[in-house]
Amino acid sequence: MRATKILVTIGPSCDTPAGLRALLEAGANAFRLNFSHGSDADHRATLRRAHAVIDDWPEPVALVADLQGPKIRIGALVGHGIDLREGAALLLDTDPTPGDGTRVPVTLPQLLRVVHPGDPLLLGDGSISLRVEGISGRSVRARVDHGGRLSEHAGLFLPRAKLRPQILGPKDTHDLAIALDEGVDYLAISFVQDGRDLRTVRRAVRNLSPRSEVRLIAKIERQEALDRIEGILTEADALMVARGDLGIEVPLERLALEQKELVRRANDSGKIVIVATQMLLSMVDSPRPTRAEATDVANAVLDGADAVMLSEESAVGHFPTEAVGWLSRIAAVSEQAIDRRRFSAPAGPGRSDASVASAAVRLAEATGSGAIVAPTHSGRTAIEVARHRPACPIWALSASPGVRRRLALAWGVVPLAAPKELGLLALQQLAVARARKQRLAGPLVLTAGYPVEGRPTNLVMLVEVASPPAGARDRRRSRGKRPERPDPPA
């Protein structure tokens, strides 16, 4: 069984019921909708189609809404794009009139206040670079250092500007309301700079939907986020290493090192971590990935990513299901070489749930267990167990459909439905019945809250699959003797 999960972006190439089902059949575990593109009607229709497919699928599937965030962009352009030649002069202003080869509009009202002569400006994916020469009236004068094709609404990066943009602009607040109304499981928050941004989003969620259990994914795209990652990890439920914009913010030669450090920090904190952007970019047009892309995916898996993500490959590519299939195969093979010693760090003081999870994994390793069974109300116990990357699957039992969907992004976790009120004996019986159905070898390791269901996880026990359910009375009688008493409960 593949433990690394696959998050797939929905777009024109797959946004039909048949297309979404094909992605799930190929191995997708979660769907992502990018709110940077499309209308309100498009977003609602896509989310409802996804829900309809998910509801008919036998396994839980997570749904992620990715908010655009405070990204600075180029405005509309004549012909939807222009060619910029090296050495050419270019004016940048805030006039929304479509730009041409001599000027481009910018969606940053304070543009004239935050740039200075000599500052670099990067466009698109960073391959187009300009140098500010000065200010003329209401425009910034710049010279093209490296040219190329510039598409409208491309990103604009100001490496030297000190900006503190509002994490939720009017569009994001509007899109947030749609996402909550349509019942997504995760919100991916773009351009997070620190923990305050995530607290701001949580307040907005509570104001719009007080009972929402939506979880927050902090997208790491800024140098400021790297500098303040500890506070972000405290507030976030998950991280996304968004390598597109991050690869512009940090020196490209450091990008792999930053990715590895972010994955490690998320693993150590017991937070889900997703590696995203250009995992299999060549598959937009090709049915097979390049060797470098296959190696990139494998390294993300070996580093400890809970999930890997497809963007253009599935949204607008010609081979979306093939891309999912390749991710699945590469991840499944790469997992065989994971060094589990890297994930065996003990929990910090005062974290009893983490200590119980660590003990469960050690017991599973020592006994060759077929599965670790983790009843969970919030998903926390299963994620803590997954943090140690055990060699066996993690069966997360929950009565909540929302919890089961959210756990679809957690490494190695198999979310399973279970009754809300589940005593210890019934829990053992349920786990053994599933193990026998799957013909699992070896015992099961079981975590639980004891003595009553609903308590924090404080118990680890070994359950033999081949034996009768624990607690069953031995009704055999010996001649001339009273029936044996059952052992007292543990």
Catalytic residues: 32, 73, 219, 277
Eight-class DSSP state of 338: -
Cα–Cα distance measured from residue 265 to residue 26, given in angstroms and rounded to the nearest whole number: 30
- Are 132 and 116 spatial neighbours (Cβ–Cβ below 8 Å)? yes
For residue 31, the surrounding DSSP H or E stretch is strand 30-34
CB 99 within 8 A of CB 83: no
Q: Which residues of 21-44 are buried (b: 16+ CB within 10 A; e: fewer)?
A: bebbebbbbbbbbbbeebeeeebe
Cα torsion for 169, 175, 180, 186, to the nearest 10°? -80
DSSP letter string over 459-487?
Answer: EEEEE-SSSPPTT-------TTSPPPPPP
**Cβ within 8 Å of residue 135, ≥6 positions away:** 112, 141
114 Cβ contact partners less than 8 Å away, ≥ 6 residues apart: 108, 158, 161, 162, 163
Q: DSSP letters of 67-132? A: ---S--BB--BGGGEEEE-TT-EEEEES--SPB-SSEEEBS-TTHHHH--TT-EEEETTTTEEEEE
Q: Do the beta carbons of residue 435 and residue 371 sit within 8 Å?
A: yes
Residue type, 182: E
Instruction: Count CA atoms within 13 Å of residue 285 on its CB side.
Output: 1
Partnered with residue 89 across adjacent β-strands are 143
Angle subtended by helix axes 40-56 and 170-181, to nearest 10 = 30
Token pair listed for 413: 């976790």
Burial class for 170, CB neighbours closer than 10 Å (0-12, 13-18, 19+): exposed
What separation in angstroms does the CA of 37 have from each of 8, 71, 77, 398?
16, 13, 17, 35
Backbone angles phi, psi at 246, to 5 degrees: -65, -35
Helix (H) or strand (E) holding 357: helix 352-367
